Chains A and B, each alone.
Chain A
């Protein structure tokens, strides 16, 4: 499966100012019974989005019409817990292309990158600014520039650089796939196995 290319994105964002959002919240375990990758978006944040009668909870950001856009901005330590890639699939399938936080859990970060979902780590101060700007104007626009590795609040021009592994950046910019790369290494792998 190749990933979708990513270059520059300008979009409003959905604020989720909660810390330690774990993958059980992103996609509860009871929805992991599928054998395909598709369709997880409708279960994204299921227990925060819906009550037990499957009615939308008004107070949850995804149900609030004033928020829109393909960027999710969340509190620190996003994606902790289970390694389930279904979490990245669900976020992407729902329509987000970028998740911004001041800190990501490792496995989630890898899973996101492997699915064309860009994790953007910003400083705690920048994250606070994002939440504050959004509280003043829910339509507040961001620009995510992958080639420049830069996130900008368009209204006031405040920007910050973000880190991404050079190899993964190339993969996202070009839609490359890790497995194609690994398959191209077959000779070296066979050579390595001889030493075992």
Chain B
């Protein structure tokens, strides 16, 4: 038998047919949809006189466009409201379960999938959102698609997709103080660049990864797209199975035992070959922050911004454009730079462990003057848990407010926009120009680093705040 990677095993078992010199017809186990990238796809299949082929394998939520305050009121922005209403109509028409605005389990699509047990090992999952890679943390093949592809899946539960190449990134060793999985992934992206993973599907492996919780693993797989990769995945283990067990949609009783027989075999064979393999040591990883306008422009928080001349000639103009946008000088230190906004949330870092980490640092302290902070849970269930655990109280005592769930300032489609020229330390995934609002200047970091900035009003090393 040929040794196979975990990725091969899942992919190959989902190929309905292969087009010679073309893509594979890949069967999709779960299709997640949201209000922004689905309306044109619904119109597309309706124009062909079709209904959604497998509505029971399709799950919908409203997340990108929704406000994070006063969710009981009608959405003020008429276009956003229309889009959310359109989703509701479409779901009703096609018989799709909708966790829409006002639903007690509403939330960001990549937070609720795992939370409800919809995401399971060995599955193929797609969504019209690039951060679908998040679900790979469970040992599934999950990737973002465009609206034409959403339409394909609606019409046939399949997608035409060329098989990507395979890369394995191994991280071994023990993470130091003040570090989280966000630092691991920002570190890797800074090493291989925002395009270093393009064309690949990445398996993350090694003792450091094995020691991470499911939520921390999700943060890593979530950002695999930020190095250009099609997706990232992690072989399921006891941490995975313990997380999945007992959730609303996870298999029960005899079905669970049956599933476990399959899931426990989901790992890369010893002799399997990858097209590319990289190794990193956890001991080399430090708190990271980005200084530029793509996620590959990250450095150790205590380092200085690189000099233009340290880069290849062809890249200097883009680098300088980026620094000009950020209003930063090459060679200057990140520590001590002024911060105006702090955003904790998104499908990258909007889960309960992230809120706990943030609360752990701000507990007993006060929000710095001049800081506006948006603490946005990833789902209604995360919000509920944060209240029940007393995290909201800790946040309130320190001068922070827990908002309602949604994608929020990660992409600023709703009112949560960072004003032009202002500096934001954000736990989200993209620091592109204007991503958090026109002219907004984003620095990506971990929840711990965000918390340290929130109480000091400037870029600060989170390890100084951890006992």
Q: Which residues of A contact B (CB under 8 A)?
A: 1, 17-20, 22, 24-25, 28-30, 32-37, 47, 52, 75-77, 80-86, 88, 103-107, 110-111, 114-115, 124, 128, 165-168, 178-179, 181-183, 185-186, 188-189, 192-193
Contacts and interface: CB of A to CB of B under 8 A. Distances in A.
Contacts of B228: 77, 80, 105-106
B208 interface: no
A104 B198 CA distance: 8
A32 B146 contact: no
Nearest to B29: A196
A92 B47 CA distance: 21
Contacts of B151: 1, 179
B226 to A, nearest CB: 8
B432 interface: yes
B148 A115 contact: yes
Given A36-B39, A80-B194, A85-B128, 18 more contacts: A18-B318, A20-B194, A24-B432, A30-B413, A33-B36, A81-B432, A82-B430, A84-B37, A88-B146, A105-B228, A111-B149, A179-B155, A185-B16, A186-B156, A188-B25, A189-B16, A189-B27, A189-B156
A17 B95 CA distance: 47
Contacts of B433: 24-25, 47
Interface residues of B, number: 69
Nearest to B14: A192
B462 to A, nearest CB: 27
Contacts of B83: 33, 35
Given A28-B434, A52-B420, A111-B148, A105 B198 contact: yes
A188 B17 CA distance: 8
A192 to B, nearest CB: 5
A83 B435 CA distance: 14
A52 B432 CA distance: 18
Given A80-B194, A85-B37, A179-B152, A185 B317 contact: no
Nearest to B155: A179
A165 B317 contact: no
B146 A107 contact: yes
A83 B413 contact: no
Nearest to B196: A77
A106 B196 CA distance: 12
A33 B146 contact: no
Nearest to A76: B195
Nearest to B411: A29
Contacts of B80: 33
A110 B149 contact: yes
Contacts of B370: none
Contacts of B336: none
Interface string B1-43: 0000000000000001101111101010000000011011001
29 contacts: A1-B44, A18-B317, A18-B321, A19-B318, A20-B194, A20-B195, A22-B432, A25-B433, A33-B83, A37-B147, A77-B194, A80-B194, A80-B195, A80-B228, A80-B294, A81-B432, A82-B411, A82-B430, A85-B40, A103-B195, A105-B228, A110-B146, A165-B162, A166-B21, A178-B160, A179-B44, A188-B17, A189-B156, A192-B16
B194 A183 contact: no
Contacts of A183: 155-156
Given A20-B318, A81-B130, A83-B130, A167 B21 contact: yes
B157 to A, nearest CB: 7
Contacts of B25: 182, 185, 188-189
B82 interface: yes
A144 B296 CA distance: 32
A19 B17 CA distance: 37
B325 to A, nearest CB: 10
Contacts of A32: 36-37, 64, 413
A35 B39 contact: yes
B149 A103 contact: no
Contacts of A28: 434, 438
B23 to A, nearest CB: 6
Contact of B157 (A80, A107, A178, A189): A189
B165 to A, nearest CB: 11
Given A25-B434, A34-B79, A188-B16, A178 B86 contact: no
A124 B195 CA distance: 15
B68 to A, nearest CB: 15
Contacts of A35: 39-40, 43, 82-83, 86
A86 B128 CA distance: 11
Interface string B426-467: 000010111100110000000000000000000000000000
Nearest to A48: B433
Contact of B144 (A83, A114, A168): A83
B48 interface: yes
A127 B439 CA distance: 29
B43 to A, nearest CB: 7
A107 B145 contact: yes
A50 to B, nearest CB: 10
B110 interface: no
B149 A114 contact: yes
B194 to A, nearest CB: 6
Contact of B438 (A47, A76, A106, A182): A47
A83 B37 contact: yes
Contacts of A80: 194-195, 228, 294
B430 to A, nearest CB: 6
B164 interface: yes
Contacts of B116: none
A151 B168 CA distance: 35
Nearest to A112: B146
B166 interface: no
Q: Identify the 10 closest CB pairs spanning chains A and B, nearest first.
A: A167-B22, A85-B146, A166-B21, A111-B146, A33-B79, A35-B39, A83-B144, A114-B148, A182-B156, A19-B318
